[in-house]
Amino acid sequence: MNSKLHSFYLNAFILIVSTLVLALILDNLLLGYLPSLWLRITLITLIMSLFFLLLSHFLIEHFQHSQERLKQLLDETLHELNTPIATIKANLTLLKKNTTHPKTPQRLQRLTLASDRLSALYESVERSIREEIDETPKEHFDLAEIVKESMALFQEKIEKKGVTLRLDLPPQTIYADKEGFRKTLANLIDNAIKYNTQGGTLAITFCAPTLLIRDSGQGIETKNLFIIFEKAYQENPATKGFGLGLSIVKNYCDKEKITIKIDTHKGEGTTIMLDLSQVMK
């Protein structure tokens, strides 16, 4: 990547210097024919613009070619990584059906969890790389369905904390980056459970065009609302995590033009409001 960056700077420098040299040459050539300063400046500007566009076209073309090669490498590498993951999962399924040792199921379960974690990391890396090259696909999906899928991931946490769940989600089609939406929901739901009170409530409702995620937790200090979306922010430093969740949420919402608002009262709870009008279909 450093060599590509150096190449870009070098080409840009050559382009600028060449344009300036051309301007000086033209000025000397036109001095005898066009004594008017404004006429010389106008003509030189037009010629320089054409020259700059011509050379910059070749520079952009080079980077487009580099981008295409990066995409091809990405597809090939991700395909190769996905193959062993699929093989591991398939063989684990077969081993579970043909085991007699009493400790084998526990060991296979640990391997399964590790395999699932590896799959999640694979998907995360794939998504991050595709975002960098602006190739995140959009698709149609049902809002209620994806919320329920996301909730299923936190069933154990919900039961452990005794949180009462309330859902009111009429059918609504969304057109957006589905995996990004899923990750956004997961972060918001995780926070709503993590910072909730023992035996509290979590309500997720949709009243077009707004999706509301309301908890009965500890709330957020008003002074912290200005920095809540910054990386590494955590309302409670003692809570496990890296404080990246809301930063991820904000980045996704900005990209999809989803307006996010927060209504919070210390000791009473927090409501996250997502305006989905730009992604509703």
Topology annotation, domain 139-275: Heat Shock Protein 90 (3.30.565)
Rg of the Cα trace of the chain?
28
State the Cα–Cα distance between residues 127 and 278, nearest whole angstrom: 22
Number of helices (H) and strands (E) in the chain: give both, helices first. 7, 7
Query: How do residues 52-62 score in pLDDT, each as one tens digit?
Result: 666 666 666 66
How confident is the model at residue 169, as a pLDDT? 94
Query: How do residues 148-160 score in pLDDT, each as one tens digit?
Result: 988 888 888 898 8
Q: Count the neighbouring beta carbons within 10 Å of the beta carbon of residue 259.
A: 14
Domain positions in the chain are 1-135, 139-275
State the Cα–Cα distance between residues 112 and 118, nearest whole angstrom: 10
**Weakest mean pLDDT among 7-21, 40-54, 223-237:** 223-237
pLDDT interval class at 232 (50, 70, 90): very low
Per-residue pLDDT, averaged over 205-213, amounts to 95
CB 133 within 8 A of CB 68: no
Amino acid at 246: L
How confident is the model at residue 238, as a pLDDT? 47
Q: Nearest-CA neighbor of 248 among 175, 164, 177? A: 177
Per-residue pLDDT, averaged over 36-40, amounts to 71
